Amino acid sequence: MRPNHIASLNRSILPLAALVGTMAGCAVADDPEPVRVQGQAIGKPPLTPKELLGKALFFDKQLSTPHGQACADCHAPSVGWTGPQPGINKRGAVYPGAVHYRFGNRKPPSAAYATPTPILHLDNGNFVGGSFWDGRATGMVLGSPVAEQAMGPFLNPVEQNNASAQVVCERVAASAYAALFIRVWGEGSLDCTPSQVDATYRLIAFSIAAFEGSAEVNAFTSKYDAYLGGRATLSEREMAGLALFQGKGKCASCHPAPLFTDFTYDNLGVPPNPDNPFYRMDDVYVDGAPINPQGAAWVDPGLGGFLAHQTFNPEWVALAPANLGKHKVPTLRNVDLRPGRGFAKAYTHNGFFKSLEEVVHFYNTRDVQSWPAPEVPSTVNTGELGNLGLTPGEERDIVAFLGTLSDGFR
Ligand code: HEC
Ligand code: HEC
């Protein structure tokens, strides 16, 4: 990342902070009944009606074919809005879709703190923004990367697997929260007829984006936030970790507060994760074509793969090789949030790492100890990581600091 970029990014984040501030006090006075999804009350004020609608959609297991998979099944609040199954996290870290033998190719990133990502653009030769690990939900279609992202999973054969936007629309129209939809978007808005269904589908996506941008998902209630607000003190170890995070560890140059991402892309030299079931998807077919025609030879091309095939900007195609294997810098908020000690989580785009200790040890020693070869060697960042000279105690301090980024402290 480039230092000159931090200033412009922080400016783009300010409106979010302002928005979150106002939403916190915004109760929905005329909505006494809790919204129910599959019989469960799923939310109450202070969410706005639009955010509440987004929440209903996010948690609705009927919006998959076969029924049973909601967004929340791969982005659960209890683990920081990422994958909640320790058995999967320990191995391939990639989640099955509604059709249980079909797997995607990457680990679910957090769906929280993702909304402020700018529209994908070039800044001094570096890509910034977009949604997904590879930025392919650019934001150039709807003006919002996260809303564009939300149009993907319902129709993705390795995720919720619905045949069309019409199927999704009709299930929303038949749901318990259909009345809320109409209240939010207006009379006639829940129209699933062929000429209107695309517009309705976009409203579904914008509702989800509203929830993902809400104060519930972007809680800013970590110990770190309490410390900033003067309501908590960090332990000696956590304080030392914070200083290392900003200094010797160089972490803040790509993971700056308050969101702990600058929405740029990088190749850390993460090794492939051989347990990723995607390597075996060469004999699993969707519409006559294998999900992964390359089988075990597949290499995740990251941002470069998207740039090579996109049509948004023909000039970007030439930039594909330089961006091969680069992935979006993820937020570090909630990286350590888990239901209990010892609950397994997975880290980086392919879930190669199984603990924060391992991740930090990798940053510190990639170039001086023996690690498996990188998945994509050509673009590995050798300037900002690989040989940080941290002592084992300093590694532990950084891990302790990461633990202060879990929401729900107060
Ligand atoms: C089967 C598991 C699965 C389901 C179901 C699922 N996701 Fe995801 N989600 C993923 C994976 C895997 C990625 C990363 C894919 C990639 O980058 O190519 C992802 C990426 C995202 C991101 C991007 C975050 C970022 O910072 O770039 C958001 C936001 C998100 N999902 C929200 C949703 C929403 C909303 C739904 C429901 C409409 C949903 N997901 C359903 C697995 C899932
Ligand atoms: C040059 C930019 C850069 C620097 C410096 C950097 N990171 Fe990262 N970080 C990234 C990128 C990019 C990823 C995702 C890489 C991937 O998935 O292949 C990532 C991923 C992570 C993850 C995994 C998060 C998840 O949800 O999977 C953790 C934890 C992390 N970084 C912590 C740190 C710490 C701690 C430091 C300092 C010691 C640091 N990072 C320094 C760019 C950076």
Span 226-230, average pLDDT = 95
Between 276 and 46, name the one with better pLDDT. Answer: 276
H or E element, residue 290? strand 289-290
pLDDT of residue 104: 87
- The HSE-up count of residue 368 (CA atoms within 13 Å, CB side) is 10
Q: How far is the CA of 390 from the centre of ligand 1 (A)?
A: 34
| 3-state DSSP of 123-135 | ECCEEECCECCCC
Does the pLDDT value for residue 30 go beyond 80? Answer: no
The atom number, within ligand 1, closest to the CA of 132 reads 27
Does the pLDDT value for residue 35 go beyond 50? Answer: yes
CA nearest ligand 1 atom 2, residue: 74
| Global pTM value | 0.91
Q: How far is the CA of 235 from the centre of ligand 1 (A)?
A: 35
Query: Alpha-carbon distance 226 to 260, whole Å?
Result: 16
Query: Alpha-carbon distance 81 to 334, whole Å?
Result: 8
SS3 264: strand
Kindly state if the Cβ of 149 falls inside 6 Å of ligand 1.
Answer: yes
pLDDT tens track for 4-26: 333 333 333 333 333 333 333 33
Q: Which tokens sit at 208?
A: 């989800």
Q: Which residues line ligand 2 (CB under 6 A)?
A: 1, 249-251, 253-255, 266, 268, 270, 327, 329-330, 332, 335, 347-349, 356, 359-360, 363, 381, 384-385, 398
User: Do residues 173 and 137 touch, judged by C-beta distance below 8 A?
Assistant: no
pLDDT tens track for 368-399: 999 999 999 999 999 999 999 999 999 999 99
The values of phi and psi at residue 405, to 5°, are -95, 10
Amino acid at 30: D
Does the pLDDT value for residue 261 go beyond 60? Answer: yes
pLDDT tens track for 175-209: 999 999 999 999 999 999 999 999 999 999 999 99
CA nearest ligand 2 atom 37, residue: 251
Of the candidates 377, 303, 310, the one whose C-alpha atom is nearest the C-alpha of residue 127 is 303
Ligand (nearest to CA of 94): 1
User: Do residues 241 and 401 touch, judged by C-beta distance below 8 A?
Assistant: yes
Kindly state if the Cβ of 351 falls inside 6 Å of ligand 1.
Answer: no
User: Do residues 135 and 129 touch, judged by C-beta distance below 8 A?
Assistant: yes
Query: Alpha-carbon distance 396 to 404, whole Å?
Result: 13
With 0-12 / 13-18 / 19 or more C-beta atoms within 10 angstroms meaning exposed / middle / buried, residue 297 is exposed
Average pLDDT value for the chain? 90
